[in-house]
Amino acid sequence: MKTFCGRANPTTGSMEWIEEGEDYDYHQEIARSRYADMLHDKDRNVKYYQGIRAAVSRVKERGEKAVVLDIGTGTGLLSMMAASAGADFCYAIEVFKPMANVAVKIVEKNGFSDKIKVINKHSTEVTVGPDGDMQCRANILVTELFDTELIGEGALPTYEHAHKYLVQEGCEAVPHRATVYVQLVESRRMWSWKKLFPVHVEAEDGEKILVPPSEMENCPGVSSVCDIQLNQMPSSDFSTLSDVVTMFSVDFSKPVQSASTYYRVQLEPVKSGKAQIVLSWWDIDMDPSGMINCTMAPYWVKPTSALQWRDHWMQCVYFLPREEPVLQGEKLYLTACRDEYSVWYNLQKAREGENKAGEEEHKADVCVESPVCRCRAHLLWNRPRFGELNDQDRTRQYIKSLRKILKTDSVCLCISDGSLLPVLAHYLGAKQVQCLQPSRIDLYHPYELWQAFFKANHLEDKIKIIEARPELLKPSHLEDKKISVLVGEPFFTTSLLPWHNLYFWYARTAVSTHLASNVTILPQSASLHMMIVEFQDLWRIRSPCGNCEGFDVQTMDDMIKDSLNFRESKEAEPHPLWEYPCKSLSDPQEVLTFDFTKTVPQHCLSTEGSVKLLRKGRSHGAVLWMEYHLAADISVSTGLMQLSNEKGNCEWNPHCKQAVYFFSSVIESEILTNPTAVTYSINFDTKTGEIAMDFKL
């Protein structure tokens, strides 16, 4: 059987459907899955084990047989814990076939085949009865179906169904309860992920201020969760306006309702400020008494010594529909609305002399509809992209460069998805400015967004939007003029890895016949940089686990390794490294350059070499990123921003994902005796726009 996978083609900038073998999809899913990360989460594992032991004991003390239902068994870990704790029988349900197969092998290898039945079904398909999947209803319900938002992986409907059909009334549940906490904060940095701030430009004829259209100002944004490693957000980047407040709890031992609802709490700000963001995380109590607690609370809420690093559960950032100035001590209501899979927040002020009736009235205005972007910008730009557009230092680099190259007779064409460059070029005096915004299914009508944007700034007749793909550009689009300045950030929404933005080079090549002989191209070139690093924690997501709480899970490690090696050459993967601290072990090195003043060559661009390791540490992998040379002496980096030389601490561009290539020593868990150099070979295939690489320690 064949499956079709949607993938962006970096040479055409558009989505293509590629036919892949049946195995491809699941290898991808396994290779990029969080199973390894979960198995390395010691805090989680220990607490589940404690909770399961306690639940089995309670059932046994009542003189009952302990029958466990483990929904989403994965490796079978929680069922094996239950069986070891003395459970009489476990039904281990797993919907993902390759995982269910692995669970069968792991259960067998650990000698639990007579106690654990692995069922490869979605829990809602499981039957109970003499001929059913389960002989009888279970009296212990064990699951780990939570994501960073708690309910995003469908925990609520799964529990709702399980209580109706699969477990006994009054069953024990591990975890017993989950509680969601919130804290109201002001943060220019995080608010810049949702809003476009006005852009100030010093033009020839005075200061211009570029403003977003009103639809964008009042847009509720999108409902997709913003989950981040909040522990990497320095306290100087936000200011807490409230104490930590309990928003809602779910008791998993009782029937659970998944239907949409809302929860409301009263808040009194501890400080006056602008309420913009709700930070949120949860904890789970593994037992009814709450003595066994596993929490995602960030560093300022709990001692750093108690922090367990994990990537499968992080913290959430919610954006209020609009910024609300609040005063210390005033009465506010914070509402969490949720449907089956997601949560969103609203803040309301209590009215003067409010009584019970007033409160009822408030409940009526609680918005129960999930946020839907009306302005299109939140569909075109993801949150890091908003942050990038709001980065004033970065904008200044572009302004400085444009100033150097623009002349009063410049005919300027911009190629980038949803870029402010055309407006900057216009303000800085280019005679004619146009931008290419081809309609693409993956771009959600950027044309309308740009029309609104230009209109809000009275630029609708100043900047022309050309709705054509670069290869279909005609002289008439350009009013029969040749382009004297071609600009791009470059940024394209379909890019996953840093070098995918080289689509700019392909587009530049496609419009060659329209370029004036003395054309200036910004950026004039790009370069690929590389550095060898030791990660503080990120290595765990690809590292084998071997033994987890006394259970042999190597079969799982082997499956992940197979999936990682499914393609002959391993691939680099994108990670936003500001969230994942690492130490540089080598100097950063420029490995390839791409000359945008020339067209894309027919032949591949490749390089080989070796990089010296300067610091002691474990070489986990190579990090790669692009730098763009905008004009003489002005470059922007999408990767390393700063390197402190003594310790090798790195500061990364906070708006971009970098490419991480994990060395096989991480995947094989090899211990290498201090290598002194790493040799590399890197090949940019100009036909596919992809980069293949290989490293040897």
Can residue 74 be called a binding residue for ligand SAH (CB under 6 A)? yes
Helix (H) or strand (E) holding 250: strand 245-251
Indicate the burial class of 271 (C-beta count within 10 angstroms; 0-12, 13-18, 19 or more).
middle
Q: Which stretch binds ligand SAH (CB under 6 A): 71-79, 284-292, 390-398, 583-591?
A: 71-79
- What sign for the dihedral angle of Cα 319, 323, 325, 331? negative
Nearer to ligand SAH, 175 or 588 (CB): 175
The distance of closest approach from Cβ of residue 33 to ligand SAH in the complex, given in angstroms and rounded to an integer, is 8
Rounded to whole angstroms, the Cα distance separating 100 from 555 reads 12
Is 153 labeled as catalytic in the residue annotation?
yes
Which one of the listed residues 20, 108, 153, 359 is annotated catalytic? 153
The distance of closest approach from Cβ of residue 153 to ligand SAH in the complex, given in angstroms and rounded to an integer, is 6
Can residue 120 be called a binding residue for ligand SAH (CB under 6 A)? no
- Here the contacts of 552-559 (C-beta below 8 Å, separation 24 or greater) are 552/106, 552/109, 552/110, 553/39, 553/75, 553/77, 553/106, 555/75, 555/102, 555/105, 555/106, 555/109, 556/35, 556/36, 556/39, 556/75, 556/102, 556/106, 557/36, 559/30, 559/98, 559/102
The distance of closest approach from Cβ of residue 579 to ligand SAH in the complex, given in angstroms and rounded to an integer, is 22
Exposure letters 233-259 (e unless 16+ CB within 10 A, then b): beeeebebbbebbebbebebbeebebe
Q: Which stretch binds ligand SAH (CB under 6 A): 66-74, 242-250, 562-570, 625-633?
A: 66-74
Look up residue 457 and give its amino acid: N
- How distant, in Å, are the alpha carbons of 274, 333, 348, 523 from that of 266? 17, 5, 10, 52
Q: Which residues are CB-contacts of 475 (< 8 A; sequence separation ≥ 6)? A: 514
The distance of closest approach from Cβ of residue 74 to ligand SAH in the complex, given in angstroms and rounded to an integer, is 3
Rounded to whole angstroms, the Cα distance separating 147 from 227 reads 10
Q: Which stretch binds ligand SAH (CB under 6 A): 72-80, 301-309, 374-382, 571-579?
A: 72-80
Rounded to whole angstroms, the Cα distance separating 226 from 228 reads 7
The distance of closest approach from Cβ of residue 203 to ligand SAH in the complex, given in angstroms and rounded to an integer, is 55
Can residue 165 be called a binding residue for ligand SAH (CB under 6 A)? no
Can residue 309 be called a binding residue for ligand SAH (CB under 6 A)? no
Nearer to ligand SAH, 79 or 686 (CB): 79
The distance of closest approach from Cβ of residue 123 to ligand SAH in the complex, given in angstroms and rounded to an integer, is 4
Rounded to whole angstroms, the Cα distance separating 572 from 583 reads 19
Indicate the burial class of 65 (C-beta count within 10 angstroms; 0-12, 13-18, 19 or more).
exposed
Can you tell me which of 11, 50, 75, 638 binds ligand SAH, judged by CB under 6 A?
75
Residues 229-258 that bind ligand SAH (CB under 6 A): none
Look up residue 681 and give its amino acid: S
Nearer to ligand SAH, 91 or 344 (CB): 91
Q: Which stretch binds ligand SAH (CB under 6 A): 68-76, 516-524, 531-539, 563-571?
A: 68-76
Can residue 388 be called a binding residue for ligand SAH (CB under 6 A)? no
Can residue 145 be called a binding residue for ligand SAH (CB under 6 A)? yes
**Taking Cα atoms as reference points, which of 237, 185, 175 lies closest to residue 48?**
175
Q: Which stretch binds ligand SAH (CB under 6 A): 75-83, 251-259, 275-283, 644-652?
A: 75-83
Can residue 563 be called a binding residue for ligand SAH (CB under 6 A)? no
Which one of the listed residues 16, 64, 125, 144 is annotated catalytic? 144
The distance of closest approach from Cβ of residue 172 to ligand SAH in the complex, given in angstroms and rounded to an integer, is 17
Partner residues linked to 595 by β-bridges? 525
The distance of closest approach from Cβ of residue 176 to ligand SAH in the complex, given in angstroms and rounded to an integer, is 16
Nearer to ligand SAH, 122 or 208 (CB): 122
Can you tell me which of 71, 375, 452, 682 binds ligand SAH, judged by CB under 6 A?
71
The distance of closest approach from Cβ of residue 18 to ligand SAH in the complex, given in angstroms and rounded to an integer, is 25
Can residue 654 be called a binding residue for ligand SAH (CB under 6 A)? no
Total binding residues for ligand SAH by CB under 6 A? 19
Can residue 144 be called a binding residue for ligand SAH (CB under 6 A)? yes
Rg of the chain taking only CA atoms, in angstroms: 28
Is 144 labeled as catalytic in the residue annotation?
yes
Q: Which stretch binds ligand SAH (CB under 6 A): 95-103, 184-192, 280-288, 314-322?
A: 95-103
194 dihedral zone (left: phi>0; alpha: psi -120 to 50; beta) = alpha
Give 658's Cβ-side CA count (13 Å radius): 33
Nearer to ligand SAH, 39 or 473 (CB): 39
Exposure letters 193-209 (e unless 16+ CB within 10 A, then b): bbbbbebebeeeeeebe
Can you tell me which of 31, 56, 94, 166 binds ligand SAH, judged by CB under 6 A?
94
Q: Which stretch binds ligand SAH (CB under 6 A): 91-99, 266-274, 335-343, 537-545?
A: 91-99
Question: Where are any strands of DSSP class E within 270-415?
Answer: 273-285, 293-295, 315-326, 332-338, 343-349, 411-415
Nearer to ligand SAH, 90 or 210 (CB): 90
Can residue 477 be called a binding residue for ligand SAH (CB under 6 A)? no
Name the maximum alpha-carbon separation found in the chain: 90
Can residue 95 be called a binding residue for ligand SAH (CB under 6 A)? yes
Can residue 96 be called a binding residue for ligand SAH (CB under 6 A)? yes
Determine the residue with CB nearest ligand SAH: 72
Give the residue ranges of DSSP H helices in 483-598: 503-510, 554-564
Can you tell me which of 8, 52, 54, 77 binds ligand SAH, judged by CB under 6 A?
77
N- to C-terminal Cα separation, the chain: 39
Can you tell me which of 148, 158, 484, 653 binds ligand SAH, judged by CB under 6 A?
158
Can residue 123 be called a binding residue for ligand SAH (CB under 6 A)? yes
Can residue 122 be called a binding residue for ligand SAH (CB under 6 A)? yes
The distance of closest approach from Cβ of residue 548 to ligand SAH in the complex, given in angstroms and rounded to an integer, is 8
Structure tokens at 395: 């904008």
Helix (H) or strand (E) holding 47: helix 42-61
Cα pseudo-dihedral 143, 144, 149, 153, rounded to 10? -80
**Taking Cα atoms as reference points, which of 413, 419, 416, 399 lies closest to residue 196?**
419
Can residue 511 be called a binding residue for ligand SAH (CB under 6 A)? no
Can you tell me which of 31, 56, 66, 78 binds ligand SAH, judged by CB under 6 A?
78
Q: Which residues are CB-contacts of 37 (< 8 A; sequence separation ≥ 6)? A: 310, 311, 312, 540, 541
Q: Which stretch binds ligand SAH (CB under 6 A): 70-78, 412-420, 441-449, 635-643?
A: 70-78
Nearer to ligand SAH, 80 or 692 (CB): 80
- How distant, in Å, are the alpha carbons of 83, 98, 130, 167, 393 from that of 136? 17, 26, 8, 8, 64
Can residue 278 be called a binding residue for ligand SAH (CB under 6 A)? no
Rounded to whole angstroms, the Cα distance separating 449 from 121 reads 44
Residue for token pair 């969601």: 180
Nearer to ligand SAH, 162 or 413 (CB): 162
Can residue 667 be called a binding residue for ligand SAH (CB under 6 A)? no
Can residue 156 be called a binding residue for ligand SAH (CB under 6 A)? no
Nearer to ligand SAH, 77 or 184 (CB): 77
Structure tokens at 416: 């980038």
Residues that bind ligand SAH (CB under 6 A): 38, 71-75, 77-78, 93-96, 99, 122-123, 144-145, 154, 158
Catalytic residues: 144, 153
